Amino acid sequence: MIDWKPAQRNIGVTPDGIIGPNTMRALLRRVSTLADATPDQGIINSLATAALVHLPAYGLTDSRERLAWALAETANETGGYTRFEENLNYSAGALVRTWPNRFNAAKAARFARQPEAIANEVYGGRMGNDQPGDGWAYRGRGMLQLTGKANYLLFDKRLGIGLDTHPEIAAVPALSLLIACEFYRANGVLAKVDAGDLAGARRITNGGLIGLDHVKALFSKIMGLLS
């Protein structure tokens, strides 16, 4: 369990040992600062309210390591809680660098700065996307960038929140936190964190190790806040 009094001193709130709204808001603001971001206060308030319900329910406040990992990874994926939808506004050069097997220079020039067309090109026909426009409809959203119709339908089945008919709600901050918590539980991420296998945890979430160095740097700093 986390001893919240030292953590509360570190984030500048009354050290009463109680995980309440003020503590959670202050913690999220501090984490966003570590990620070099300044999110809207309304987003922080919404996330804090959801976090007080979902983080304990999913065991994410059972240890400093679990909480620090969840905060580090979600801050990395959302730019410090400032964006909850995948930015697909790629330049031609960025398309070639990101998807070299899909775009040569000529093709990239045709798709550059067209997010919807890019989404349908790179996501269409896979991850359960089987209808025209599915790549765009089921693009990356939320605190862990839920992507692909198959994943949206899977988590709608798990949570029953309407992702099947309204995939856009995956970008609602509070709902995206719930989805992230369910993802961690469903995919054994916390077991990797408990074992100290941060690369393994990242591989489950990301499908690779993209962003691992940044997530680990944030994790270390957040562990310091929670000490």
Above 90 in pLDDT, residue 67? Answer: yes
- CA-only gyration radius of the chain, Å: 18
Above 90 in pLDDT, residue 1? Answer: no
- Do 203 and 177 sit in the same domain of this protein? yes
Q: What is the pLDDT of residues 21-65, one digit of tens each?
A: 999 999 999 999 999 999 999 999 999 999 999 999 999 999 999
Domain count, the chain: 2
Q: What is the pLDDT of residues 4-32, one digit of tens each?
A: 999 999 999 999 999 999 999 999 999 99
Residues for the chain: how many in total?
227
How many Cβ atoms from other residues are within 10 Å of residue 52's Cβ?
17
**125 to each of 21, 60, 97, how far by Cα in Å?**
43, 35, 21
> Is 70 within 8 Å of 31 (Cβ atoms)?
no
> Is 204 within 8 Å of 188 (Cβ atoms)?
yes
Final residue in a domain of this structure, among 167, 182, 207? 167
Q: Which domain covers residue 117, as residue numbers?
A: 92-167
- Do 17 and 115 sit in the same domain of this protein? no
How many Cβ atoms from other residues are within 10 Å of residue 154's Cβ?
17
- Do 13 and 61 sit in the same domain of this protein? yes
Q: What percent of the chain has pLDDT over 90?
A: 98
- Do 153 and 215 sit in the same domain of this protein? no
Q: How confident is the model at residue 207 (pLDDT cuts 50, 70, 90)?
A: confident
Q: What is the pLDDT of residues 138-176, one digit of tens each?
A: 999 999 999 999 999 999 999 999 999 999 999 999 999
- Give mean pLDDT, residues 68-96: 98
- Structure token pair of residue 162: 């309407």
- What was the pLDDT predicted at 27? 99
> Is 141 within 8 Å of 180 (Cβ atoms)?
no
Final residue in a domain of this structure, among 167, 196, 216? 167
Q: What is the largest CA-CA distance in the chain?
A: 61
